Amino acid sequence: MGNFCSKGKASVDHKTTPFHTRKYSIPDESKEEKGLPTPTSSTPSSSKGGARAVPRNSDGGGTGKDTDSRPSSLAEPTAVPASSSWKGMVPNVKVFTLAELKSVTRDFKPDTILGEGGFGRVFKGWIDPKTYAPAKQGVGIPVAVKKSNPDSDQGLREWQAEVKFLGKFSHPNLVKLMGFCWEDGQFLLVYEYVQRGSLDRHLFRRGAEPLPWELRLKIAIGAARGLDFLHTSEKSVIYRDFKSSNILLDADYNAKLSDFGLAKLGPPEGDSHVTTQVIGTFGYAAPEYVATGHLYLKSDVYGFGVVLLELLTGLRAQDSTRPSYKTNLVQWAKPFLNEKKQVRKIVDSKLDGRYSIKGATIAAETIVKCLEGDPKNRPGMDEVLTALEHALAISPTDTPKDSRAKRLVGSGQHNRHQDINRSPLHGNHNGGAGPSRINSS
């Protein structure tokens, strides 16, 4: 679902945007996920209101086949399931009716729109905190409702993946899925409302207040905890689309990973990787994955390194408005990351010198490890987390202007694998300005 990143059709996208990057042509994934019902519309696949099968790629990109020995996390439509079957699969979330969600969002009125992406629009609504029944505006708890775009080729697949993963996991650093709906050919997801929106808005939006250094480390630590939880869960999960626009921030700037539409089960025991379609976001996707389709748990670690570099520099991973030598952040910044004196040259100037050079150096060293070309040489997320916690510990807040960071860094702390999820998905208002998806449709 791309967290409101704009999407294009198959083949190379030539649409010009401020941050235009190339989109790759990808075939579809067609294996059926065992145990998870797959809804489909009774209308023909070509009709606008129903789910549509993603066409095979016709320009030679990709292999046209998913060779993962496990079932794909994104299944083809098969049959309409009963609501009760969904409840049995994901008992911790509510199955809403379309009528209920119309009431929750005041019939999807334009003034409730939080954002819009390839999957569709996101609306703000209100529900009763105990029963999840629709509530009046301003009463109860706020929620974010994602409503599928009838023109979205992969809406069904990504909706299904969201339900599969977020419906079963609970962690303070993962956004909470509260419910879902499939009705009249529409796919909807109901999330907790995360007040401060996505990290990329705070880093890159013009006029945004700069995030203090300690707060940046706190956000990185929270995101690392979420990713570590996924990698070390009973059935390891590869997030596959780790980027700053998919990291949401609550009122206390606690990071929550969102958008599990591309998530995939990790490799079976004894295997190092799964082989699958190349799909993700240009600038964040690991090089071995883009080149071969081989997806490792440590492919996520590469993406984490890119986001940590964005936090260090205040620059987007990919930005065609910058000089050509600086368009790709990783390529430009790598030579500066190995020496303390060089690191100073690339630290975000908006910090105005208010950061710990020791902490920044540890962050730079961690980035270098995460961006290793060979995934075997990248650290695990537990090692990354330990390094960042050390960087924060030696990064004291010692100026009056950083009092906000001092207060917020100490808030919302928790154990790495605490399995509760609090705090009220917020839309991304960047209007799609940012790296493009390496997309199958």
Q: What secondary structure does DSSP assign to 177-225, as a single string? A: EEEEEEETTEEEEEEE--TT-BHHHHHHSTTPPPPPHHHHHHHHHHHHH
pLDDT of residue 153: 63
HSE, CB side, 13 Å, CA atoms: give it for residue 387: 22
Section 419-427 average pLDDT: 37
pLDDT tier for residue 276 given thresholds of 50, 70 and 90: confident
- 389 membership: H or E segment, kind and range: helix 381-393
| DSSP label at residue 274 | E
Say which CATH architecture domain 2-193 belongs to.
Answer: 2-Layer Sandwich (3.30)
Task: Please give the average per-residue pLDDT across 309-327, as a whole number.
Answer: 96
Sign of CA dihedral 213, 215, 217, 223: negative
Q: Which residue has the tokens 């066409």?
A: 55
Higher pLDDT, 399 or 137: 137
User: What residue spans in the chain does CATH classification 1.10.510.10 cover?
Assistant: 199-437
pLDDT at 376: 96
3-state secondary structure of 354: coil
Residues 2 and 432 sit within 8 Å (Cβ to Cβ): no
Question: Above 50 in pLDDT, residue 432?
Answer: no
Tens-digit pLDDT profile for residues 95-152: 999 999 999 999 999 999 998 876 789 999 999 999 999 999 989 999 999 998 877 6
The answer to whether 279 touches 5, Cβ cutoff 8 Å, is no
3-class secondary-structure state, position 237:
strand
Residue whose token pair is 């390194």: 305
In this prediction, residue 441 has a pLDDT band, given cuts at 50, 70 and 90, of very low
Nearest-10 crossing angle of helices 213-232, 297-313? 170
Whole-prediction pTM: 0.75
Contact between 409 and 255 under an 8 Å Cβ cutoff? The reply is no
pLDDT in tens, 181-197: 988 888 999 999 999 99
Residue 305 to residue 196: CA distance in whole angstroms: 23
Residue range 332-373, pLDDT digits in tens: 999 999 998 999 999 999 999 999 999 999 999 999 999 999
Q: What angle do CA 144, 146, 150 make, to 5 degrees?
A: 160
Is 241 annotated as catalytic?
A: yes
Q: How confident is the model at residue 409 (pLDDT cuts 50, 70, 90)?
A: low
pLDDT of residue 148: 86
Choosing among 1.10.510.10, 3.40.30.10, 1.20.210.10, 3.30.950.10, the CATH entry for 199-437 is 1.10.510.10
Q: Which residue has the higher pLDDT, 164 or 171?
A: 171
Summary mean pLDDT of the chain: 77
Q: What are phi and psi of 158, to 5 degrees?
A: -70, -35
Q: What is the mean pLDDT of residues 143-166?
A: 83
Predicted local distance difference test score (pLDDT) of residue 315: 97
For position 280, what pLDDT does the model report? 83
User: Per mean pLDDT, which range of 17-31, 142-156, 186-200, 383-397 is the poorest?
Assistant: 17-31
| Cα gap 167→245, rounded to integer Å | 21
The single residue of 241, 252, 300, 348 carrying the catalytic annotation is: 241
Provide the pairing of β-strand 177-183 with 113-116: unpaired
Q: How far is C-alpha 53 from the geometric centre of its chain's CA atoms?
A: 24
Please tell me the distance from the alpha carbon of residue 289 to that of residue 438, in angstroms, as a whole number. 11
Q: What is the mean pLDDT of residues 44-50?
A: 33
Residue closest to 402 by CA, chosen among 333, 370, 356, 369: 356
Better-predicted residue by pLDDT, 162 or 49: 162
Token pair 């030539």 in the structure block, residue = 14
> Range(s) for CATH 3.30.200.20 in the chain?
2-193
The token pair at 426 is 């917020």
Report CA-CA distances (Å) from 109 to 104, 138, 320.
10, 15, 35
If one compares 166 and 73, the residue with the highest pLDDT of the two is: 166
